Amino acid sequence: MKVYLLGAGPGDPELLTLKAKRILETADVVVWDYLANDALLDHCREDAEFVYVGKKGGDHTLPQDQINQLLVDKAQEGKVVARLKGGDPYVFGRGAEEAEELIEAGCDFEVVPGVTSAVAGPAYAGIPLTHRDYASSVSFITGHEKPGKEESAHNWDSLAKGTSTLVFFMGMKNLPIIANNLMQHGMASDTPVALVHWGTTCRQRTLVADLATVAAEAERFGFGPPSLIVVGHVVKLRPKLKRFERKPLLGKGIVVTRAREQASSLLAMLQEHGACCNQFPTIQITPMDSYEPLEKAILALAQYDWLIFTSVNGVKYFWKQLLEIGLDTRILGGIKVAAIGPATADALRDRGVMPDFVPPKYVAESVVAGLLELGVKGAKVLLPRAKEAREVLPEELRKAGAEVDIIPVYETLPAGEDADKVVAAMDKGEIHCVTFGSSSTVDNFFSVVQPEVIKRNQPGIKLACIGPITAKTLAGYGFSADIQPEDFTIPALVDALVAEFGSTGE
């Protein structure tokens, strides 16, 4: 029905435009490139058809003529097609060629511009492309012209003698030729050059040299595609303006084993610090087959003195059932509510409930001590929680004289898809830390990843646990926790990771 040529942006998934996001959310078919961040596929419908057509270093998953035909075929099937292209479709992205093929076939199309890497990559590296003191114009140039051309389309004399900032795309293989051409046509050999590798992503690295030495320096430090080549005196501003590469976890590969439903806050904080997050949920949160016991407990809430939530998921599923039976927060009138942990407390506040008790330490002993001071002895307690969970808290409450009813409101099931990818990343040295947010994540992780994988990669891989109980479970597999925060919270865990791995990106 229609093909949208979408600019995926330069790599940072948050630089996707709102319009492109809206189209991804509704498209029937998504055709994406090597330089389009896989995280963007999270915006797509679960039932969408996904076709990867990436091209890497001359290795074409699908040749361009077949990509063109694929777009035509899907459009003629009456599908809405999102063609996701790195950067901007019309800036060295061959988007215009695809558009011409669609027009020739009589297919409707629309282009949605994206943030080009030529602007974003240097900006993240602290290099503005224009500046009143250095350059009042900028030129975007391909470093890899169409094969078979008899002579270069570039006017090297003009490029070398002008005052523009020069940005070369796809030029790393030809870097020595580019540098020599510029110098032979009059550009000073000490002109500063920057190479920005994987710009705007957690893998970003930047190398600064001068025109005479940049090719040798690129080889020395292992700079290859995808890298932008920025030539001009604006590069001098990088020491003053660079910020992104000072993020403390930049380039650090961190595995997040929490369930997808729970991982968002941890992922967001790690990514804000620059980490390369490998989402590898080892548990899956699923609803119960029947909520009849919970419904009965809700209708009998008046008989309870305390309602204790131990997780955000407990709050989520409790409230879902509360609303489904036509009730709301007013039914909690007269009942004291406890939240084990700040995230659980926030989930309650979001629903208009101020917790009566949030323990200073998030272990059973601390919880019970605090509740005893508030009169839990002799009280009747309702505990909505996971079907399978540690019995320490209810046992300690009963020892303290409370009557405790446990109501399962969700299940945690083992997960662990793509274990082979995580193992491969570990063996390549791309993983620096595995994080565990609960004992179940430890157990489920080692059910799909053999302990030997960790052992053969240590000391390169650190193991981080949110608290002592999780660390104790880890010890059962022969490992000690390298990182463990004093406060058993996600923000504290992130702070501990920053303290362990923190750098200034210098």
Alpha-carbon torsion 16, 20, 26, 30, what sign?
negative
Could you confirm whether 33 is annotated as catalytic?
yes
Cα dist. 202→178, 252, 270, 280, 506 in Å?
Answer: 28, 8, 10, 18, 15
What secondary structure, in 3-state letters, does 360-415 show? Answer: CCCCHHHHHHHHHHCCCCCCEEEEEEECCCCCHHHHHHHHCCCEEEEEEEEEEEEC
Q: How many other C-beta atoms lie within 10 A of the C-beta of residue 390?
A: 15
Determine phi and psi for 20, rounding to 5 degrees.
-65, -40
Alpha carbons 294 and 315: distance in angstroms, whole number: 12
Alpha carbons 256 and 275: distance in angstroms, whole number: 11
Determine the residue type at 91. Answer: V
Could you confirm whether 55 is annotated as catalytic?
yes
Alpha carbons 56 and 15: distance in angstroms, whole number: 22
Alpha carbons 244 and 125: distance in angstroms, whole number: 7
Catalytic residue among 19, 170, 242, 346: 170
Alpha carbons 14 and 425: distance in angstroms, whole number: 24
Catalytic residue among 33, 252, 269, 426: 33
Alpha carbons 464 and 474: distance in angstroms, whole number: 10
Catalytic residue among 55, 242, 316, 387: 55
Could you confirm whether 187 is annotated as catalytic?
no
Alpha carbons 457 and 450: distance in angstroms, whole number: 12
Residues forming the active site = 33, 55, 170
